[in-house]
Amino acid sequence: MARIALIPGDGVGSEVMTQAVRVLEVLRDAGVDSLAWEEWDLGADRFLRTGTTITDGEFQSLADDYDAILLGALGDPRVPSNEHARDILLGLRFRLDLYVNYRPCRLLHPAISPLKAGGERPMDLRVFRENTEGVYGGMGGSFKKGTPDEVAVQEDLNTRKGVERIIRAAFGYALERGLDRVTMVDKANAMPHVGSLWRRTFQEVSEEFPLQETRTMYVDAMAMDLVRNPDAHQVVVTSNLFGDILSDLAAVLTGGLGIAPSANLHPGRHALFEPVHGSAPDIAGTGTANPMAAILCVGLLMEYLGHEEVGVQLEEVVTEALAGDITTPDLGGGKTTEEVGAWIAGRLAHRIAAPGHSPAAD
């Protein structure tokens, strides 16, 4: 039995999560795995009602009682400080030590690439972003704040342990999937101390994985390469900040936020799956949020639970939806969140019931 904690959260988070649950229901009812999920009331509503973001007991339960967490999004204009989102999301990331931020960026249909030649050279990239260190550690401070002499320092924290484990995760993934290209991205020319640590560690770890084609690249060159040569890279491993920026760029090149899933992992211990997008207050309540990212998160979750074929199937069904224009307005379609979710769930159920069935025969 796989136990899943569902945190729909705020805004479109709960809207897209409803569609992800439809897909979970299909998988459970088809007996793919004995899945059980419980919904958690964590988010702006609860915070505004009770003043509590998340308790120590809740953190403990999320860590101990579940195989995985599926989260919608957090962030609400009624909480301008964003305190609840920070406590819950960053709290989970740091307390569960979710050091891998895994973001697959695969172009599922040429029509959703913003690049002229995107369809001819489709991107199929996996970004491994270090998720617990770097400039996100909050180290630093200000001096003479608010004066003309103000000084601000933000430290970029990189530990040997932190760098090594994310690089190992990237190589391990590549080896497991039969991929042979791993690229490490840094800015060693401008940041030599951090760059030296990443480059030495990358070199040492790569020697344990002799079959891989390994490269190092500066982040500015990689940003250009993603646009010019979208199919050139397979696995990219990088720091928290560079991974944040590059994976958003890669997400846009493969259809945008509405279709970008992600996983936050401590391999062997904890896993949290969430769409890359936020709570999108500008479209919340309109029924137009794209549920594909949340649904593809279910695919990543199922892969994590050992059902790799389900992840592949879900990608194929989403691809069919894209080909048939079953899309929300962000991808140029006229369907609602509910219509897209229902179509994908129905199609998945159909495929599971009739394996090997070709959509062309419909």
Ligand X SMILES: NC(=O)c1ccc[n+]([C@@H]2O[C@H](COP(=O)([O-])OP(=O)(O)OC[C@H]3O[C@@H](n4cnc5c(N)ncnc54)[C@H](O)[C@@H]3O)[C@@H](O)[C@H]2O)c1
Catalytic residues: 136, 187, 220, 244, 248
DSSP string of 120-171, one letter each residue = TS--EEEEEEE-SSBGGG--EEEESTTSTT-EEEE--B--HHHHHHHHHHHH
Binding characters for ligand X, 213-252, by CB under 6 A (x = yes)? ----------------------------------------
Rule CB under 6 A: say whether 257 interacts with ligand X: yes
> Which 75-134 positions form the footprint of ligand X (CB under 6 A)?
75, 82, 85, 89
Q: Which is nearer to ligand X, 70 or 167 (CB)?
A: 70
254 binds ligand X (CB under 6 A): no
- Using the rule CB under 6 A, is 280 a contact of ligand X? yes
Beta strand segments in the chain, E? 2-9, 35-39, 68-73, 100-106, 124-130, 140-143, 151-154, 181-186, 213-218, 235-238, 261-266, 270-275
State in angstroms the smallest separation of the CB of 289 from ligand X. Answer: 4
**Considering only residues 2, 4, 5, 12, which one is a binding residue for ligand X as defined by CB under 6 A?**
12
# residues near ligand X by CB under 6 A: 23
Local structure of 190: helix, strand or coil: coil
Evaluate whether 51 touches 59 at the Cβ level (below 8 Å). Answer: no
Complex with ligand X: residue 137 or 281, whichever CB lies closer: 281
Retrieve residue 115's tokens. 């690049």
Of the candidates 69, 100, 182, 283, which one interacts with ligand X according to CB under 6 A? 283
Residue 345's Cβ-count burial label (10 Å; 0-12, 13-18, 19+) is buried
| Residues binding ligand X (CB under 6 A) | 12, 16, 73-75, 82, 85, 89, 257-258, 274, 277-283, 289-290, 293, 328, 330
